[in-house]
Amino acid sequence: MALISVGIDHEHASLDLLERVTVLEHEWNKVLRTLLSQRNIHEAVFVSTCLRTEVVAVIDRFHGAIEEITTTLSDATGLDAGEFEDKLTVHFDRGVANHLFSVAAGLKSVVPGEFEILGQLRRALELASEEHTAGAELTDLFQRALTAGRRVRAETGIARGTTSFAQASVAMALEELGEEMHGADVVVVGAGQLAAGVAKSLLGSADQIATVTICNRTIEKAQSLRDEIGDTRVLASGLDDIEARLRLARLAIICVETTTPVITRAHLEGSAHPLLLVDLGVPRAVAVDVEELGHVRRVDIGDLHLRIEQVLGERHGAADEARAIVEHDVEKYLHDQRARGAAAIVSELREYFDDIVDTELHRREGDLSDLSEEQQERVRSLIRSVVAKIAHRPTVALKESAGTDQGIRLNEATRSLFDL
């Protein structure tokens, strides 16, 4: 069996395609169950975020697994495979660890070092564990990747400054609006982790803001986030009040997962009040035709790239340090994997030799009856010592080659020769 990752990400696909292949979290369990029903897939973890939809799996046949994963993604997204298969990024065995550790470290994020990806990977592993699709191998891989990601952020400066979509979107909006934010009302749509980050960044970056209204489909969640933030400028509202709130706002930042836009042209036509809409949803949470209204400007995560380029320029040294940590932790993970892979066959081989020694000593016990107990023990010790020396070189070779093509061949040959 081998490791594989197959995904579509912002480095190789357009925002439009990423939007269309995004699978909302409440559908992830269905994708996992479909993956595990395939012939070549033994373990699987699935994650789908605004900029990454990916499967990590333990498989049998490489090409068979690629086909099964592609078909599953096609079924889950409703897209013909031909629309995305040339945009797939595939990693195999060692490459999977390099890739996943780099993702967890924030090295493959639009915002280098951003924290949200750690929570997304952790949630993906938790869900796969709940669905019993992540076994020991993927659990260890993801846990080690998450540990490496936390280490990168603790030991390098990659997480200094703007480190999330929340902070980057707020910084972009504040730069664009400038003094217009003095006494301004802001609407944040959503009450999840991203919305919380946006609201806190707004309040921490712009003391001049008058109010931040959390609008959410479930008003209780909006109220809970309001209470968690604990700032008197924060208000809570349901989505049924969104039109009235937008008429008063200078800025609205939308942070929800949705299959249909939550803000449409109809919400905005009754007002001429200037409004900047920052849409962080994938799929888009703001209807594209709102841009036809003269008083409305709409931006999305694709417009964050200028700010991200600035961040990248400030963090080249930190990124190099982060890559060094990732490389070290990947090597340690692979070393531990090789050691564990060899442990089973080595243990079985030693047990095989020990059984032969014990069986033969027991069978020939009568031949040693003329010897004293001390002499009998010396004979037993000598036999065990000779057998241990004979077994030494094969066990060393199995350990040293574990995880390689040669190791696989030696493993198979050992099982065949000794009938293990």
Which residues are the active-site residues?
50
Chain centroid offset of residue 356 CA: 48
Task: Select from 54, 65, 42, 50 the least CA-distant residue to 19.
Answer: 50
Q: Please, which contacts does 402-406 make with residues 24 or more away whose CB atoms are closer than 8 Å?
A: 402/338, 402/339, 402/341, 402/342, 403/334, 403/337, 403/338, 403/341
Count of positions (residues) in the chain:
420
Structure tokens at 159: 């997480």
DSSP 263: B
Cα torsion through 219, 225, 229, 232, rounded to 10: 0
Whole-number Cα distances in Å, 371 to 367, 379, 380: 9, 10, 12
User: In b/e form, how buried is each residue of 286-318, taking b as 16+ CB within 10 angstroms?
Assistant: bbeebeeeeebebbbbeebeebbeebeeebeeb
Are the C-beta atoms of residues 33 and 55 closer than 8 Å to each other?
A: no
β-strand pairing of 52-59 with 89-92: unpaired
Structure tokens at 119: 């929570």
CA distance 334 to 115: 25
Place of tokens 């243990």: 347
What H or E segment, with its residue span, contains residue 15?
helix 15-21
For residue 286, list its beta bridge partners: 263
Residue 390: count other Cβ atoms within 10 Å of its Cβ: 10
